[in-house]
Amino acid sequence: MLDNAPIPQLITVTETEPVWHPVTDVEFKRYARIDDAVDENPSLLNEIIHAATQIVESYMGTVFHRRTFVQRQTGGVEYIPAMRTPVTTVSSITYAESFESSYVTVSTSSYRVGGNDFYHKDGYFTAGRQANGYVITYTAGMVADATPSTLSTDIKTAVLRVAAFLYENRQEHATGWSEQGFSISYDVLKGVIGRIVNHSASARGVF
């Protein structure tokens, strides 16, 4: 048992930017029927595709493009769930006893990865009970290739439909939704994704 009562989890995740998305701007323009003659801002289209990808990833609890993530959080827990999945490799787990102390590397023999969770051999990650006490660097994602060609059609369709919704509401996208409009929009997005994406891959949806 721990000497002190568990403290609330404080978790932040930073990541390297993906080098590709499930769909290209050309595919999106074709799907959304955006005429090539229309002088649409390419950066806006890319931002919309990026946002749509993040929304679908969040709903599925899965990262499409495999890349590196750095997860910082408090210790004093039985196990640490990876906030980005599926986990493929773990580079390091470090911890600091206090804000003033240096980070110490946890030996690979002292922890194991079970599914998308990290477990300590002693049963608890007892140290690092302050914010950012533990820092876990790992790689996660479905596809490591330079192109998303192996992603399913369902995933690509979901990203296209969400991107089309965001494009149709690009004025709100540019100026910011009202609280009521934002809520309604997310309800619509949930319905769009839920009708398309295979629910067997959506066990960790966060909507």
* Percent of the chain clearing pLDDT 70 (strictly above): 73
Residue with tokens 């999106």: 28
Which among 92, 122, 140 is the end of a domain?
Answer: 140
Task: Report the pLDDT value the prediction gives residue 19, as an integer from 0 to 100.
Answer: 83
- The verdict on 126 and 86 lying in the same domain is yes
135-184, pLDDT tens digit by residue? Answer: 999 999 998 876 777 788 888 998 999 899 888 887 654 444 444 444 44
User: What average pLDDT does the segment 21-38 reach?
Assistant: 85
Q: Average pLDDT over the chain, rounded to whole?
A: 79
Domain encompassing residue 31: 17-57+145-197
**3 state DSSP class of 135:** strand
- 204 located within any domain: no
Between CA 169 and CA 157 the distance in angstroms is 18
* Percent of the chain clearing pLDDT 90 (strictly above): 32
Number of structural domains the chain divides into: 2
- The verdict on 173 and 133 lying in the same domain is no
Which residue, among 182, 168, 192, 147, has the nearest Cα to 56 in the 3D structure? 192
- 84 located within any domain: yes
Query: What residues pair up with 81 in beta bridges, in sequence order?
Result: 117
- 160 located within any domain: yes
Note every long-range contact of 32-41, with CB atoms under 8 Å and residues 24 or more positions apart, other chains counting. Answer: 32/160, 32/163, 32/164, 32/167, 34/167
Torsion of CA 78, 74, 2, 110, to 10 degrees: 50
- 4 located within any domain: no
User: What average pLDDT does the segment 82-87 reach?
Assistant: 94
- The pLDDT of residue 86 is above 90: yes
Task: Report the pLDDT value the prediction gives residue 94, as an integer from 0 to 100.
Answer: 94
Q: Against a cut of 0.75, is the pTM above it?
A: no
- The pLDDT of residue 197 is above 70: no
- 79 located within any domain: yes
Task: Report the pLDDT value the prediction gives residue 9, as an integer from 0 to 100.
Answer: 60
- 6 located within any domain: no
Under the banding of pLDDT at 50, 70 and 90, the label for residue 79 is very high
- 22 located within any domain: yes
- The verdict on 75 and 97 lying in the same domain is yes
- 8 located within any domain: no
For 34-86, give the DSSP string: --TTS---HHHHHHHHHHHHHHHHHHHT--SB-EEEEEEE---BSEEE-SSSS
89-144, pLDDT tens digit by residue? Answer: 999 999 988 777 889 999 999 999 998 999 999 888 887 777 678 999 999 999 88
Residue with tokens 């029927």: 33
- The verdict on 135 and 160 lying in the same domain is no
- The verdict on 52 and 102 lying in the same domain is no
- The pLDDT of residue 200 is above 90: no
